[in-house]
């Protein structure tokens, strides 16, 4: 296929010598700079699943204390599957996005039903579980079973894009599906585990979203994004990257809703209030409303009902004629 016939989302395969240089530089850096994270010292697929779900949309520093606490409460996949959902949610707090706790328990129950309690070891089988996407499937296959597979989260996408494709602003040159395919092609033989972990560490500590530490980066000499930014006199202050981000953000302007006025905020408050109730106790909606906001009126009841319906759909609450409570 000629270069002219490539679609915008078809990655250009780098020269083998460049790929080899990136492999050597990044893996050498990781050998001495890797983060000491508890889920890297275990091969238990269940523990790795827990860590991966916790790390979705949550920073490592917040996950670290909760990870061990959760595994102490539910030491095995079977323990998690058989626990009351209200207890799972209670242990999960305050990580946020409580739906992840319900999804995690749902995955555990599916594994019991479909795989006799053993998480499968292939991406294809893992993707059959509702709640597991391509990234998590790849992470479990690679980190728990040491399979030679790629996985792409936000950090990995950013690092690979910058090194091999250039700046992702104002438009990324690859979409997510193309990046997964590209990541498979450039896996270093026999080093998938260290390679994927190294990419994540690089994205989390050096090749960050808005303030990359390019002068500390072991990939500086072979990074296309660095070469692009080096052409501007404003580099290396980081101004170029920030300005490019502003361009991207202006394409889809929006007025952010204050968090304390958002439905997500009130969903969290509902769960917090319900956790104060004794088991099998239900709170009528007219009583719950004023606990959420002082200015609650009868006209707000339909708004509250929609919130409760969403929480019930996500498996976070149980709504009966007596009111709403934890499942």
Q: What is the mean pLDDT of the chain?
A: 85
> Sign of the C-alpha dihedral, residues 324, 100, 133, 82?
negative
Q: Determine the Cα–Cα distance for residues 138 and 145; give it in Å rounded to an integer.
A: 10
* Assigned domain for 317 exists: yes
In a domain, 174, yes or no: no
Q: How many domains does the chain have?
A: 1
pLDDT in tens, 31-73: 999 999 999 999 999 999 999 999 998 899 999 999 999 999 9
pLDDT at residue number 251: 52
pLDDT tens readout for residues 301-324: 778 878 888 888 778 888 876 788
For residue 80, pLDDT beyond 70: yes
pLDDT level of residue 123 (50, 70, 90 thresholds)? very high
Please give the average per-residue pLDDT across 223-237, as a whole number. Answer: 72
Q: Where are the alpha helices (DSSP H) in the chain?
A: 16-33, 45-54, 60-73, 77-82, 85-92, 99-115, 123-126, 134-139, 154-160, 176-185, 192-205, 224-230, 239-250, 263-274, 285-292, 301-313
Task: State residue 238's pLDDT score.
Answer: 56
Angle at 169 between CA 185 and CA 232, to 5 degrees: 110
Q: Report pLDDT for 130.
A: 95
The answer to whether residue 289 is domain-embedded is yes
The answer to which of 23-37, 211-225, 291-305 has the lowest mean pLDDT is 291-305
Q: Is residue 298 part of a domain?
A: yes
Q: At what angle do helices 85-92 and 60-73 cross, to 10 degrees?
A: 140
Q: What is the DSSP string of 279-309?
A: TT--B-HHHHHHHH-TT--GGGHHHHHHHHH
Contact between 180 and 9 under an 8 Å Cβ cutoff? The reply is no
- Does the predicted TM-score (pTM) go above 0.85? no
108 or 287, greater pLDDT = 108
Which residues form the domain of 278? 259-325
Is 52 assigned a catalytic role? Answer: yes
Name the active-site residue from 52, 87, 124, 125: 52
Q: What CATH code is carried by the domain that includes residue 286?
A: 1.10.10
Q: How far is CA 90 from CA 33, 169, 224, in A?
A: 35, 40, 46
For residue 264, being part of any structural domain is answered with yes
Specify the 3-state DSSP secondary structure of 2. coil
Is pLDDT of 243 > 80?
no
């Amino acid at each position: 296929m000629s270069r002219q016939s490539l679609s915008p989302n078809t990655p250009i395969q780098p020269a083998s010598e460049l790929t080899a240089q990136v492999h050597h530089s990044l893996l050498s850096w990781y050998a001495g700079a890797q983060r000491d994270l508890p889920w890297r010292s275990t091969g238990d697929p269940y523990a790795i699943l827990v860590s991966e779900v916790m790390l979705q949309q949550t920073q490592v520093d917040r996950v670290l204390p909760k990870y061990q606490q959760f595994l102490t409460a539910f030491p095995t996949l079977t323990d998690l599957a058989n626990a009351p959902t209200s207890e799972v949610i209670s242990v999960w707090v305050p990580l946020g996005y409580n739906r992840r706790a319900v999804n995690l328990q749902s995955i555990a129950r599916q594994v019991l039903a479909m795989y006799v309690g053993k998480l499968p070891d292939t991406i294809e089988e893992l993707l059959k579980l509702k709640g597991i996407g391509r990234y998590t499937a790849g992470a479990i296959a690679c980190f728990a079973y040491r399979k030679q597979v790629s996985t792409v989260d936000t950090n990995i996408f950013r690092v690979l894009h910058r090194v091999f494709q250039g700046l992702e602003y104002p438009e990324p040159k690859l979409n997510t599906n193309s990046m997964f395919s590209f990541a498979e092609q450039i896996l270093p033989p026999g080093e998938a585990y260290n390679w994927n972990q190294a990419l994540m560490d690089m994205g989390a500590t050096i090749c960050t979203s808005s303030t990359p530490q390019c002068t500390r980066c072991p990939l500086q000499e072979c990074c296309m994004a660095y070469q692009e930014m080096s052409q501007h006199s404003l580099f290396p202050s980081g101004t170029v990257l920030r300005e490019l981000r502003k361009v991207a953000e202006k394409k889809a302007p929006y007025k952010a809703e204050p968090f304390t006025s958002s439905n997500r905020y009130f969903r969290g408050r509902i769960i917090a209030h319900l956790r104060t109730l004794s088991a099998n106790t239900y709170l009528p909606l007219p009583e719950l409303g004023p606990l959420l906001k002082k200015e609650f009126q009868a006209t707000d009841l339909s708004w509250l009902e929609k919130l409760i319906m969403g929480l019930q759909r996500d498996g976070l609450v149980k709504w009966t004629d007596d009111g709403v409570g934890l499942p």
